[in-house]
Structure 1
Amino acid sequence: MTKISILGCGWLGMPLAEALLDKGLQINGSTTTVEKLSLLQSENINPFLIDIPSIIDEGSLEMINFSSSMNSFLHGSETLIIDIPPKLRSASVPADEKTFVKKIAALIPFIIKSTVQNVLFVSSTSVYGENQGTVDESTIPEPETESGKQLLECESLLKSNSNFKTTILRFGGLIGFDRQPGKYLAGRENLENPESPVNLIHQKDCIGIILKIIESDYWNETFNAVSPFHPSRESYYSQKAADLNLPLPKFDHSKPSVGKLIENNKIINLLKYTFTEPNL
């Protein structure tokens, strides 16, 4: 039985693991929360408690425990899915320390010496700057946020390693399940960029695209993954708020709108993926 390891069984990783189990695959899943281990086990996911240190101290107990967990987590797996958020918005995390880059760098030696042949890295369209206009996978990213900058650096670290094949999956804004877009901006005022296009993707399509990549063996690729649905921020979020009977957001039209539009043609034409939730 083919085994897949999912590093990060959270909002996306957990239902993804369940979908892969339905395909008859064996799944190792990680969490940083002790309380969640029993939940993973109840879903027939082999549970692992893994919190990647950003400071590597070879002799420390933390590093010894991490090394043991990672070796077991990756053992026998053909594919590793990395789905952990950068978490760089907290003021307590100094941006210049590149904490997320260090964590991904810490993983690579373990991947190299494991049975893993393929890595799928869940990235984000934040690697593109808001002023880059219409972008696709051939566009050179110009990230503006710290999260986007570190994600792009992590992409490069993984892709440049020839010991395994890496596919990069850049998701747009994630919605679905408990993430209702109508709640995001409801009642807020003086919102900028009313005419900028939205670049979102539903959880169901996130999972569907990952399944398609694995089934089709599309490795050493980069994909932008967003729905082919790009209304303006104002029209979209106003309608979603109205659908939930929430106060409408109010936008500032005094300045020109800026915002990128993410093309997804490669997902459709190369991967041959059909969106299940095209109109969000």
Structure 2
Amino acid sequence: MTKISILGCGWLGLPLAKALIAKGNSVNGSTTSENKLSILKDAGINSFLVTVESESVSENTTNFLAESEILIIDIPPKLRANQSFSTPLEMTFVNKIKNLIPFIAKSTVKKVLFVSSTSVYGDENGLVTEETSPNADTESGKQLVLAEKLLQENQNFDTTILRFGGLIGEDRHPVKFLAGKENLDNPDAPINLIHQNDCIGIIGEIINQSKWNEVFNAVAPFHPTREDYYTQKAIEMNLPEPKFSSEKSNIKKVVSSEKIENYLNYKFCLDNY
């Protein structure tokens, strides 16, 4: 039995914890909401109230990490749209990771899996692999790049970076936000999405196969155009069809998951898409 701590038991972290427990692992799970502690406990998770801020980290983090071999960090940057990136003091998410690292270094944790995003590549054109240099063009993407580096450079633990594409699941799909909208850009751009089930499956394989000190892009090998895919999804979900403009720019970025397919021998559940 492996003891695993999951920092952030939200949309992905909670079902991930349940899946890891079902495989015989012991899981510590964190939440920032007292109301959610009972939900975690009912799921068989050792629940902890943990807050990671740019100024400080709650003292309960020590107990949350106690005796764990693996830490999964699944907390989003959540930056304000108008937040500046001009000075180190404004690097909110980066500072959160900086404050968290000493707690990890002093704990029993020797393996860290950091959930990142393919947004670190920015609007690249063409095929993107793990060898592609990050070129983030959003505030959250820029801070994710720096957070990745902070974790990778620490010698107290081994870090694997897992960069997810757009997240979808039964209760989460971007077509719900695009439905009925007009003049949308990039109609010919390929989609780069990943289903919640595949997120959980890939994390499980990384742990099972001890693939540490690695970087993985996690996007389903399914890349129809935005216009074709979201139009079809709107019809399937009985939503107003989105309207795209062919005059708007087309970024044709395709994120490759060949490393996951070949190195982990992972098979994506394409029926979910």
Return the offset for 1:278.
5.8
In structure 2, what is the equivalent of residue 12 of structure 1?
Answer: 12
Q: Quote the residue 1:183 is aligned against.
A: 176
Contact map agreement 1:228 1:278 (CA 8 A) in 2:
no
Q: Contact 2:20 / 2:204 at 8 angstroms: preserved in 1?
A: yes
1-structure distance, mates of 2:47, 2:81: 28
**Residues of 1 paired with 2:48 and 2:78: CA distance?**
21
Render the CA deviation track for 1:222-272: whole Å, top value 9, x for unaligned.
Answer: 000000000111001010001112111111111341142101110011111
C-alpha distance after superposition, 1:25-54 (max 9, x if no partner)? 110000011100011111110111111121
Q: Aligned partner of 1:15: which letter?
A: P
Residues 125 and 251, structure 2, Cα contact 8 Å, conserved in 1: no
1:170-209 alignment, distance < 5 Å: 170-209=163-202
The one-letter code matched in structure 2 to 1:87 is: K
Distance 1:259 1:268 in 2: 22
CA 1:8 to 1:248, structure 2 compared with 1: closer, same or farther past 3 Å?
same
1:29 counterpart residue number: 29
| 1:113-137 alpha-carbon deviations (Å, 9 max, x no partner) | 1000100000000000213421100
Q: Which residue of 2 aligns with 1:112?
A: 105
2:75 aligned residue (84, 89, 99):
84
**Pairs within 5 Å for 1:205-244:** 205-244=198-237
CA displacement at 1:210 relative to structure 2:
0.2
> Would you say the 8 A contact 2:48–2:64 is kept in 1?
yes
Query: What letter is aligned with 1:227?
Result: A
1:55 aligns to what? Answer: 55
Give the deviation of 1:181 after TM superposition. Answer: 3.8
- Name the aligned partner's letter for residue 85 of structure 1: P
Matched, 1:277 2:270: yes
* Equivalent position to 1:168, from 161, 173, 182: 161
Q: Which SS does the other structure have where 2:124 is aligned?
A: helix
Instruction: Indicate the SS of the match to 2:24.
Output: coil
Structure 2 CA distance for aligned equivalents of residues 255 and 36 of structure 1:
43
Within the candidate set 128, 135, 147, 2:121 is matched to 128
SS of residue paired to 2:29: strand
Structure 2 contact 94–143 (Cα < 8 Å) conserved: yes
| Length, aligned pairs only | 270
Question: In percent, how many aligned pairs have the same letter?
Answer: 60
SS at match of 1:80: strand
Amino acid at match of 1:143: A
TM-score (norm 1): 0.93
CA–CA distance in structure 2, aligned partners of residues 278 and 104 of structure 1: 36
Within 2, Cα distance between the matches of 1:236 and 1:247? Answer: 14
Q: Give the deviation of 1:175 after TM superposition.
A: 0.3
After superposition, the CA RMSD in angstroms is: 1.3
CA contact (8 A) 1:88 1:95 kept: no
Conserved 8 A contact 1:121-1:169: yes
2:175 and 2:166 mapped to 1: Cα distance? 13
The residue that corresponds to 1:75 in the other structure is 66
Tell whether the 8 Å contact from 1:172 to 1:200 is kept in structure 2 after alignment: yes
2-structure distance, mates of 1:171, 1:208: 13
Give me the whole-angstrom Cα distance separating, in 2, the residues matched to 1:182 and 1:108: 37
> Helix, strand or coil for the counterpart of 1:5?
strand
Q: Please say if residues 111 and 158 of structure 2, whose CA atoms lie closer than 8 Å, have aligned partners that are also in contact.
A: yes
Once residues 270 and 46 of structure 2 are traced to their aligned partners in structure 1, the CA distance between those partners, rounded to angstroms, is 30
Q: Is the 8 A contact 1:77 1:115 kept in 2?
A: yes
Q: Is the 8 A contact 1:98 1:150 kept in 2?
A: yes
Partner of 1:157: 150
* d(CA) in 1 for partners of 2:213, 2:63: 25
